[in-house]
Structure 1
Amino acid sequence: MAQVTSDPIRLPPGPRTPKLIQGLQFFTSRRASVGGLTRRYGSAVTLNLPIFGKAVLISEPSLVKDLFTTGGDLVGRATNLGEVLGPGSTFSLDGDEHRERRKLLVPPFHGKRMQGYEAIVEEEVMREIAGWPEGAEFPTLPSMMHITLNAILRAVFGAEGAAFDELRELLPKQVVVGSRMAVLPKFFRRDFGPRSPGGTMARYRRRYDEIVDSLIADARSDPAFDERPDVLSLMLRARYEDGSAISDRHIADELLTLLSAGHETTATTLAWLVERVRRHPQLLARLSEEVDAGGSELQQATIWEVQRARPVIDGTSRLTLQRMRLGEWVIPEKHVIIVSIAAAHSNRERFDNPSVFDPDRFIDNPPDNYTWIPFGGGIRRCIGAAFANMEMRVTLRTLLREFIFEPTGAPGEAYHSRGIANAPADGGVAVVHRRATMTRPVDSVSTQAAAG
């Protein structure tokens, strides 16, 4: 755990190139840039970046653990997402307000409630894959987006109808614009007219608020309101320790956070899952055998390994609120600390042969929360992590039960940035055959593709 200190500032080494050059390298080719920096300077690097300013990039698990176990009195939020999602989003809150909000939001996404949501996810998977073509290449990312968006909408609001249909159309557009705005300097996020990113986002947000206000009114007027299991109703019934409720505007912000962050990152991971397993024929065969036998251990390990090898989020960050010691370094107040998820997942001291895609590393060995960090960590770990994992398990299980996936020897798909999330450039291409119509085995690739 990091500690307050009055010791002299001591920052890690780093490049001396101008801020603009460092920023261009970091934001346009982040993975290559971070890889080069960690190879040259080690697992802690000082940077000078646009938007962030002076920052320390870390990937060493011991430093990551110290940061994630540090309380909200020492580190706070360091992200633009709160400005995009609204003042009531957990991305906008710090200190006691953030901690109290998390206490209210965690219960709907844990425990027995997950079992109730599983049926929703499977229904959405079956609905989407009904139109999948057989024997022809197609990108799976659009389908994964549909599945995860529909599932989170139903889990959040508990029903379907005209409002839900409009949200299905509105939210993907809103997420695309919001993702781009989140990585822009504050000046460029302003409303410069109806066609500017800020103006477009403001228009989408006005309509979103109108829809959510109507859904809140519908929920409150429902005679069965006290028994409704949807997230919206749970949030409306939730009370802080002093008996007060979350305001309607803050509920709208939190729901937008859940809907935006909860569907795109999960969908992108599922597309990467398809991309990875098709390049490992022996694993693909084992997964099919496991689902036929009613097992799930290898499926879960494969999901964990996809998240390790192809994390869809580059990093997570904190802002120091006081001068503090982190490992051997002393970091000043108002300094950004960036945790590189990709670099942490490639740490050779924590993962054997990290460049190799190997789900067996997680068999009987669940990932550690300070070396495997696709959901971030500490007091700001993703609230929907359990829901996202459930979505991926149910989706993978259903796909393996319904289809045979053709393996491929094609090179791995490159990364494509969607603003916040990194997706497979070709959309996680698949070729499938329905098990119900299979008359002969699909020819398999005789050797495994390179793990790159």
Structure 2
Amino acid sequence: MVAGRNRRRALVDALVADELDRRRRAPGGDDVLSVLLAATDEHGAPAYTDRQVTDELRGLVVAGHETTATALAWVVHLLAHHPAEQAELIRSLDAGETAYLGAVIKETMRFRPSVFDAVRTATGDTTLGGQPVPRGAIVSALFTVTHHDAALWGDPGVFRPERHLDGRPVPYALTPFGGGVRRCLGAALAQLELEVVLKELLGRFRLEPAGGRLEAARLQGVTIVPSRGGRVVLRPR
């Protein structure tokens, strides 16, 4: 198993190395890879080594794939079980509006974030929430707790996209992509993917539940997935 994983990793690294070489021969793009390659430090030297760029891309593509797919499964499943919200989203998209689409995506990631926490290591002795945190301690920010805190979100157990149209939330009350300088590198890409897929899907189909109740959440690795896959029925519009 380990040997097979190492072979696959070597294959990915070789593909990335070829792409880096190609981009350097034709610089000037505006995508993530081009930005990373063009970045420089205060001395004008490249800001990232090839190893660092490769690691960033691996995280963006591999880690981003599962979490975005999970978010998509949840938003489709939730819309199937909330027909009024689905109807409003279809109406707004047909009218060329996107504000409600953004609200639906935000509410899905609040209600069912793809991952349950962000883990950090304290680089020095500090205090967090009145508790001492020694250097080297592992600290976990639990999104699922914050996103369902009644003090931050009224009726947190209710799926209500409109709450994201009424103003900005309390800082760090909504952190499906983490926060601060270590916020998920693929956040913008994930948002774009969700928007594109949902526009195409709801432009052609209406979503209906495949079962009587909303599926429970199940932990799969570090990802929170629908317990039965987020099943829905597609009906042509």
TM > 0.5 between the two? Answer: yes
The 5 Å alignment of 1:263-302 reads 263-302=65-104
Asked whether the 8 Å contact 1:322–1:333 carries over to 2, the reply is yes
Unaligned runs of 5+ in 2: none
Q: For the residues of structure 1 that align with 2:167 and 2:192, how far apart are their CA atoms?
A: 19
Q: Does 1:318 align with 2:124?
A: no
Q: For the residues of structure 2 that align with 1:407 and 1:413, how far apart are their CA atoms?
A: 10
| Secondary structure of 2:27 counterpart | helix
Match of 1:357 among 155, 159, 165: 159
Match of 1:218 among 17, 22, 30: 22
Asked whether the 8 Å contact 1:405–1:430 carries over to 2, the reply is yes
1:265 Cα deviation from its structure 2 partner: 0.9
Q: For the residues of structure 1 that align with 2:52 and 2:137, how far apart are their CA atoms?
A: 28
Q: For the residues of structure 2 that align with 1:337 and 1:331, how far apart are their CA atoms?
A: 8
Q: Does 1:232 align with 2:36?
A: no
1:199 Cα deviation from its structure 2 partner: 3.1
1:367 Cα deviation from its structure 2 partner: 3.5
Asked whether the 8 Å contact 1:304–1:367 carries over to 2, the reply is no
Match of 1:418 among 220, 225, 230: 220
Q: For the residues of structure 2 that align with 1:419 and 1:297, how far apart are their CA atoms?
A: 32
| Secondary structure of 2:120 counterpart | strand
Aligned to 2:12: 208
| Secondary structure of 2:135 counterpart | coil
What whole-Å deviation, never above 9, does each CA across 1:328-377 have from its counterpart, x for those lacking one? 22222222221111011111111111111111211232344411111111
Match of 1:373 among 175, 185, 189: 175
Q: For the residues of structure 1 that align with 2:15 and 2:205, how far apart are their CA atoms?
A: 37
Asked whether the 8 Å contact 2:209–2:231 carries over to 1, the reply is no
Q: How many residues align?
A: 236
Aligned to 1:304: 106
Change (3 A) 1:355 1:368: same
Asked whether the 8 Å contact 1:323–1:333 carries over to 2, the reply is yes
Asked whether the 8 Å contact 2:210–2:232 carries over to 1, the reply is no
Structure of larger gyration radius = 1
Q: Does 1:243 align with 2:47?
A: no
Moved beyond 6 Å, runs of 4+: none
Asked whether the 8 Å contact 1:276–1:412 carries over to 2, the reply is yes
Change (3 A) 1:369 1:203: farther
Q: For the residues of structure 2 that align with 1:230 and 1:419, how far apart are their CA atoms?
A: 30
Aligned to 1:199: 3
Seq. identity, %: 36
TM score, norm. by length of structure 2: 0.90
Match of 1:427 among 226, 229, 237: 229
Q: Does 1:252 align with 2:54?
A: yes
Q: For the residues of structure 2 that align with 1:409 and 1:365, how far apart are their CA atoms?
A: 34
Q: For the residues of structure 2 that align with 1:249 and 1:332, how far apart are their CA atoms?
A: 31
The 5 Å alignment of 1:9-408 reads 195=1, 198-221=2-25, 225-245=26-46, 246-407=48-209
Asked whether the 8 Å contact 1:279–1:409 carries over to 2, the reply is no
Q: For the residues of structure 1 that align with 2:192 and 2:33, how far apart are their CA atoms?
A: 19
| Secondary structure of 2:206 counterpart | strand
Q: For the residues of structure 2 that align with 1:323 and 1:410, how far apart are their CA atoms?
A: 51
Choose 298-307 or 396-405, whichever is displaced more.
396-405
Asked whether the 8 Å contact 1:404–1:432 carries over to 2, the reply is yes
**Matched AA of 1:244:** A
Change (3 A) 1:271 1:231: same
1:408 Cα deviation from its structure 2 partner: 5.6
1:238 Cα deviation from its structure 2 partner: 2.5
1:282 Cα deviation from its structure 2 partner: 1.2
| Secondary structure of 1:431 counterpart | strand
RMSD: 1.9
Q: For the residues of structure 2 that align with 1:247 and 1:209, how far apart are their CA atoms?
A: 14
